Amino acid sequence: GSGVALAMGTVYLVGAGPGDPGLLTLRGARLLRRADVVVYDALVNPRLLDLAPAGAMRIDVGKRAGARGTPQDAIDAILIDAARCARTVVRLKGGDPFVFGRGMEELEACVAAGVPVGVVPGVTSAISVPALAGIPVTHRGLTHEFVVVSGHLPPGHPQSLVDWPAIARLRGTVVVLMGVDTAPAIA
């Protein structure tokens, strides 16, 4: 080889917020404006992709109901390979990267591969959607606690990690994400 080492790029796990482009953080927008590669989920508002430079590569790895999405190991490989090409890689994830997403798995994959990685928190739908509807998750004098749980798996499912009996005993607000299909069983 030439003996010239290329600089490693950085992967940024960026929370895209709950769908309203106005709820993307300023740091997330700045990173998108200088991205070489944007790897995005199905829940990301497509208008956010317009923030990336015209020449930026856009890679859709989103999962949609009833369709197979990109396997997690393939997403990890895409992120690592893009960073090894000395690119600024924005992994745009719906909501917040660490709230019921696989952000931590992606961070761990990058670290294991020696790829620099940064995290930009996003506005989670668990709080923002109720707030936009005028519903506070806490209220002085009414509730001083709230819990966010995944409703992806119904109560009693052998793979569910949610302690539904404990959740039922809470006096505070319970926010259930991904529970549309399991709402009757949860109720």
Catalytic residue among 50, 73, 178, 181: 178
Q: Pick the catalytic residue: 50, 57, 63, 104?
A: 63
Known catalytic membership, residue 8: no
Q: Which of 41, 76, 93, 96 is catalytic?
A: 41
Note if 57 is an active site residue.
no
178 an active-site residue?
A: yes
Indicate left, alpha or beta for 42 from its phi (over 0: left) and psi (-120 to 50: alpha).
alpha
Q: Give the catalytic positions in this structure.
A: 41, 63, 178
